[in-house]
Chain A
Amino acid sequence: MEKIILSHKANLIAVYGNDGFKKIHDALEQLANVSALETEIVYLDDKTSTKKHNLDPVKEANPELIQNFIETLCKTSDAEYLLIIGGHRIIPFSQLKDPTNPTQMVYSDAPYADTYQDDLRSPDISLGRMPDGAVTDPGLVLKQINTAIKHHKGVAAKTTDTTGVSAKTWENVSQELFKKIKDQTELILTPDWGLGNKVPEHINLGIIRPTKWQMERPAKVTEAIIKHVSSLVKKTLDPKAFTGRKFIYFNVHGSDETTEWVGEIMSQVKIEGEDCILIVYPDILKPETIKQANVENAIVFSEACFGAYTIGKVPDNSNALCLLNQGALCFVGSTAVAYGESRKSYPRWADVMVKYFFDFVKRNYSIGEAFQMAKQRYVGTERPFNREDLKTMFEFVLFGDPEIKLS
Chain B
Amino acid sequence: MSEDEKITRMKEKVQTDVLKDFPEMEGIVPEITTDTYQGTRTRSRYGRGSDEISVRVLKYTKEIPTFRGITFKKIVSVTVDEETEEVLKVAESRE
Contacts and interface: CB of A to CB of B under 8 A. Distances in A.
Nearest to A344: B90
B70 interface: yes
B24 A339 contact: no
A384 interface: yes
Contacts of B84: none
A337 interface: yes
Contacts, number: 114
A337 B75 contact: yes
A305 B94 contact: yes
Interface stretch (A31-39, A179-187, A199-207, A232-240): A199-207
Given A199-B67, A384-B53, A384-B89, A253 B23 contact: no
A244 to B, nearest CB: 27
B68 A204 contact: yes
Contacts of A339: 75, 77, 91-94
Contacts of A385: 37-38
Interface in B46-95: 53, 55, 57, 59, 64-68, 70, 72, 75-77, 79, 88-95
A165 interface: no
B39 interface: yes
B94 A350 contact: yes
Interface stretch (A8-16, A145-153, A208-216, A289-297): A208-216
A383 B38 contact: yes
With a 10 A CB-CB cut-off, give which of B41, B65, B92 has the most chain A CB atoms: B92
Interface residues of B, number: 34
Contacts of B89: 348, 384, 386, 388
B64 A384 contact: no
B40 interface: yes
Nearest to A277: B23
Given A203-B68, A204-B67, A340-B91, A209 B23 contact: yes
A281 interface: yes
Given A384-B37, A385-B37, A304 B94 contact: yes
Given A209-B23, A277-B24, A253 B55 contact: no
Nearest to B22: A342
A154 interface: no
B21 interface: yes
Contacts of B12: none
Contacts of A388: 77, 89, 91
Nearest to B51: A383
A338 B66 contact: no
B38 A206 contact: no
Nearest to B40: A383
A205 B64 CA distance: 9
5 contacts: A251-B94, A253-B95, A380-B41, A383-B37, A387-B35
Interface of B: 21-24, 26, 35, 37-41, 53, 55, 57, 59, 64-68, 70, 72, 75-77, 79, 88-95
Interface of A: 100, 170, 199, 201, 203-206, 208-209, 214-215, 251-255, 258, 266, 277, 279, 281, 303-306, 334, 337-343, 348-350, 380-381, 383-388
